[in-house]
Amino acid sequence: MGYYRTKQKIKTLNLKSLIVIITVGITHKYIKLRNIFAFTIYLFFLVFSLHTIIHINKTHAGEKIVTVIQSQQISAYDESIKGFKEGCKEKGISINAIYNLKGDIEEGKKVFQNIIKNQPKPDLVLAVGILAATFAKNQYTDIPIIFCMVINHERFNLQGDNITGISSEASIEDQFRIFNEVLGEKKNIGVIYDPTKTGKIVSDALLESKKYKFSIIEAKVASENEIASALKNIIKQIDALWIIPDGTVVTKDSMDVIIKSTQKHRIPVFCTSSAITKAGALISVSPDYKYTGIQASQLAKALLDSSKTTSLGVKEPEKLEITINTETAKIINVDLSPIRSHSNVVLYP
């Protein structure tokens, strides 16, 4: 059914049965005991044992259950779940199961039917990726949901009184700060985008650009077929190209065109994905995926500890990673010494 257990079932003690057994034991022992002192010692042991059993049962009864649902099996998702598991372990939070939707809507329906039919209702759900987040939002309206690893989450209306999230992109401010260190006096940044998908990101960027005196050169497209000509129209006006998480623009074929053309013109490409950097872009500023999971565990702890708070809003990623393609740096002859000293720099290859 696309899921696997991550925790063994807790064996609970049947308190009534134990009391019956121990009571029979008292009678049997009482018959055999020859003095009141020995009986007193035995009675003390009995009371202590019952107290311990009751405490254990109360602890298990009050334990919070967290379920993890991931959209599919990819390394970035796996890293975030790894961080979440580590964070939960440190905080005493129990994860009862992890479900994998395998990137398929029909599989997702089957998995959720199984969860509802066979599993206890969780106290909180971590949804990793957009498919998991969408299913969780539609299924659970009365328990907290935390989503992460959802690219351009604002497009998907992941809002609600019970929804908390962690953005899958570095803030524009964090990105522009790094870009500024690399570009120095160069200020013209091009961006190719589909206004229906990432218009808000570009609008926010226009406001943030004033802080660094950047000029944002826009190239609007409505389909992947327009990308090559859009790039050609702006390539001689820009000092760098900024790739944002736009589904129309970020495809394998379009990335091949963009990387080839920008390297030919020695134009650095900035982006928000280490995968694009490894494909030939110069620099990506992206969340540390494992730490995103740790951050999610912190939010889970806060939500589970509060009887009133069901949402903490959408948070910025607290820890970022700067990935540099050193081969691309050589090809376009750019000096990266200003940012190499950052502690969170990853060099590729």
Verify that 69 and 29 share a domain, yes or no. Answer: no
Q: Which position has the token pair 């650095």?
A: 268
Same domain as 309, residue 228: no
Query: What integer is the mean pLDDT of 220-227?
Result: 98
Reported confidence tier of residue 63, pLDDT bands at 50, 70, 90: confident
pLDDT at position 179 over 60: yes
How many other C-beta atoms lie within 10 A of the C-beta of residue 247? 14
Q: 84 to each of 55, 68, 137, how far by Cα in Å? A: 29, 9, 20
User: Which stretch of 117-121, 127-131, 297-301 has the lowest confidence by average pLDDT?
Assistant: 117-121
Q: Judge if 325 and 280 occupy the same domain.
A: yes
Q: Quick one: 344 and 236 in the same domain?
A: yes
- For 339-349, the pLDDT digits (tens) are 998 999 999 99
Domain assignment of residue 56, yes or no = no
Same-domain status, 218 and 237: yes
The total of structural domains in the chain comes to: 3
pLDDT level of residue 49 (50, 70, 90 thresholds): very low
Residues 244 and 234 placed together within one structural domain of the fold = yes
* Domain-embedded: residue 184: yes
Pair (198, 267) in one structural domain: yes
Residue 120 has what DSSP assignment? P
Whole-number pLDDT of residue 307: 86
**88 falls within a domain:** yes
DSSP-derived pairing of the beta strands 283-287 and 320-325: antiparallel
Say if residue 294 is in the same domain as residue 151.
yes
Q: Same domain, yes or no, for 241 and 295?
A: no
Tens digits of residue pLDDT in 181-200: 999 999 999 999 999 999 99
176 and 160 belong to one structural domain: no
Distance CA 241, CA 282 (A): 10
At 330 the pLDDT is 97
Q: What is the domain extent for residue 117? A: 65-168+289-315
Looking at residue 303, its pLDDT comes to 98
Cis before 287 (ω within 30): no
The CATH number covering residue 202 comes to 3.40.50.2300
Is 21 inside any structural domain?
yes
Asked whether residue 58 is assigned to any structural domain, the reply reads: no
Look up residue 79 and give its two tokens.
Answer: 């890293």
pLDDT tens for each residue of 314-331:
999 999 999 999 999 999
Order across the sheet with 65-70: list the strands.
3-5, 94-100, 65-70, 124-128, 145-148, 163-166, 313-315
Whether residue 327 is found in the same domain as residue 200:
yes
Q: Same structural domain for residues 211 and 310?
A: no
